[in-house]
Amino acid sequence: MIKSGLTISQTDNFNANFGEVLRSSSIFYFARTASVRTTISLMNYWRFKRETSVAIIATLRDMSGALVHRTRLAFDPGHVINYSPEVDEGFEGSLEIEAISAENLVIPYAAVMTVIEAPKSISMVHSYARAYSQHEIDEGRTITLGREGCWRIVDDLKTSSFCVFHNGPEWQKSQTLSLEVICEKESAHADILLPALRPFQTVKLQPRDHIVGLVDWLAGRTGYASVSFDLGQAFTRMLVGNELIDGSEVSITHSNFDYRRHTTEIVDGCTEAFMRVPPSLLGSARVIVYPHFHAGQYEAHEGATHHFTSNTPLSFVPSESTIKFGSAGGAFPARLVTGIEVPSQGHLSAECSLGVYHARRPLKRTHWGIVTEKEGLSSRIIGLPFDCIYGVPKGNVTAKLFSAKTNEILTAEWTLTPNDSQEFSWALTDIFPNARAHLGDAFGFVYMVSEYGGLQCFSQLTKENGSTTIEHMF
């Protein structure tokens, strides 16, 4: 029997109601195989956003949670760290990044990126999981009841879906994990006996190993998976994705709460919400509304009107950039998890987990995202004004390019005008002509400050063979 979920407060998140934060952290899946290389990348945003100094600790553990290596990392010689510890080929485990400070860091999850490169693909995702600090455990500021969904699977003869989650510092007793896959109006289930989890143990799960006949049942269709489990003092977000069985391609994103089981606030006075698709991706990108949402009947309006209801996934290629969501019940839930799927010219699609914006969402003026111009890769920066909520774009934007190889910072400035209501979408080298020399053969970060406050920003990395990956900025 699946235990009932929790109420997840978006208001607390907006207000940074996390207590006194002296440790900020993230845990990532880390793999080094004959074909896959994982890089953890972070910039010293603590210094530039809050003028705060931090010590960075990296801890590598194997899948069982056993310590392999712990080291202190330094922002030297640049303002970016790219870390990929040397391990034997075939290694799988976790890499934890901790930022420690004597000052309040405000946010307990560290803004870090992981990039997985395979022979024919590149894919990235922002921080997803973390182990809680003792003060959070003492004060009850934890979510350890894993009710995770919003996981797109495309299993076929060549492709396998997977999820990864990480236990925290406490043992978790043996449990029965519940796996569900929804495809159109059908569903398939599996109950999986999970032995007791050791502290910091990592679990990788593939649905095809537990749902008999999954490939034949999907028959080329897309499924949407959810998982129910408990963890020992760790945040329950998962890494999710699809990979080619021959190891040549991997595509990753993160899960999100299953809001059929967890609940969220209803936004007082709001009867609508919005998402935006970059106009430069119209005609190719698909909008996804994952089926794990607050019970009700909803509509999505763009060039057409799409009706959807509980437990039913929605996916469409929009003809307009702005999608307006409404609820037949009037008031709208604070969270509706959406995503965009971007085709990659014959390779595994890129996927970016998003959500919706509503009128109670506060202004956001800083954005930072990963970029590179190393051999065989290029970067694009995208900014979308939510003029439907915040009014026409205006004011100055300052962009800074940070490197791992030098403390020198490249700077660019421009002014937003009402003509920018659709988007700005620029190659990194159009903003910073010297970006290639500045970054070298490594990942860097763009850090933007906008007077407008109503932007959503993305970075997109593309491999020369057409494989692409896109992620919203921090």
* pLDDT tens string 429-471: 999 999 999 999 999 999 999 999 999 999 999 999 999 999 9
Average pLDDT over residues 381-410: 96
CA distances for 328 relative to 7, 10, 321, 433, 439, angstroms = 22, 22, 23, 50, 50
Rounded Cα distance, 149 and 179, in Å: 10
Q: Prior bond to 313 cis, omega within 30?
A: no
Using one digit for the tens of pLDDT, what is the confidence trace for 206-258?
999 999 999 999 999 999 999 999 999 999 999 999 999 999 999 999 999 99
Domains 7-124 and 366-472 in one fold: yes
Any idea which residue has 């003492």 for tokens? 138
CA distances for 150 relative to 206, 237, 302, 312, 389, angstroms = 15, 11, 22, 12, 26
The band of 421, judged by pLDDT with boundaries at 50, 70 and 90, is confident
Question: For 198-225, b where at least 16 C-beta lie within 10 A, e where not — what string?
Answer: bbbbbbebebbebbeebeeebeeebbbb
Rounded Cα distance, 163 and 298, in Å: 29
Amino acid found at 350 = A
Rounded Cα distance, 454 and 423, in Å: 12
More confident residue, 99 or 269: 99
Rounded Cα distance, 433 and 373, in Å: 11
Question: For 237, how many CA atoms within 13 A lie in the half-sphere containing its CB?
Answer: 20
Rounded Cα distance, 251 and 248, in Å: 11
Using one digit for the tens of pLDDT, what is the confidence trace for 324-374?
999 887 778 888 999 999 998 899 999 999 999 999 899 999 999 999 999
Q: What is the pLDDT of residue 384?
A: 96
The band of 285, judged by pLDDT with boundaries at 50, 70 and 90, is very high
Using one digit for the tens of pLDDT, what is the confidence trace for 289-324?
999 998 889 999 999 999 999 889 999 999 999 999
Could you list the beta-strand ranges (E) of 170-222: 175-183, 186-194, 202-205
* Residue 3 clears pLDDT 60, i.e. is over it: no
Average pLDDT over residues 101-123: 97
Domain residue spans in the chain?
A: 7-124, 138-257, 265-353, 366-472
Average pLDDT over residues 87-94: 96
The tokens describing 254, both together, are 């993160």
Per the prediction, the chain carries an average pLDDT of: 95
CA distances for 54 relative to 26, 101, 107, 446, angstroms = 15, 5, 13, 20
Q: What is the pLDDT of residue 1?
A: 44
Q: What is the pLDDT of residue 228?
A: 97
Rounded Cα distance, 248 and 154, in Å: 16
Using one digit for the tens of pLDDT, what is the confidence trace for 179-207?
999 999 899 999 999 999 999 999 999 99
Any idea which residue has 């990592």 for tokens? 202
The tokens describing 376, both together, are 């065989």
Using one digit for the tens of pLDDT, what is the confidence trace for 123-137?
999 999 999 999 999
Region 7-124: CATH code: 2.60.290
Average pLDDT over residues 135-151: 94
Topology, domain 138-257: Hypothetical Protein Tm1070; Chain: A (2.60.290)
Any idea which residue has 């998140």 for tokens? 13
Using one digit for the tens of pLDDT, what is the confidence trace for 149-162?
999 999 999 999 99
Q: What is the pTM of this model?
A: 0.95
Topology, domain 265-353: Jelly Rolls (2.60.120)
* Residue 281 clears pLDDT 90, i.e. is over it: yes
Q: Report, at the CATH architecture level, how domain 366-472 is classified.
A: Sandwich (2.60)
Using one digit for the tens of pLDDT, what is the confidence trace for 11-39?
777 777 788 999 999 999 999 999 999 99
Rounded Cα distance, 446 and 368, in Å: 5
Q: Where are the alpha helices (DSSP H) in 179-245?
A: 214-218
Rounded Cα distance, 290 and 312, in Å: 8
The band of 4, judged by pLDDT with boundaries at 50, 70 and 90, is low
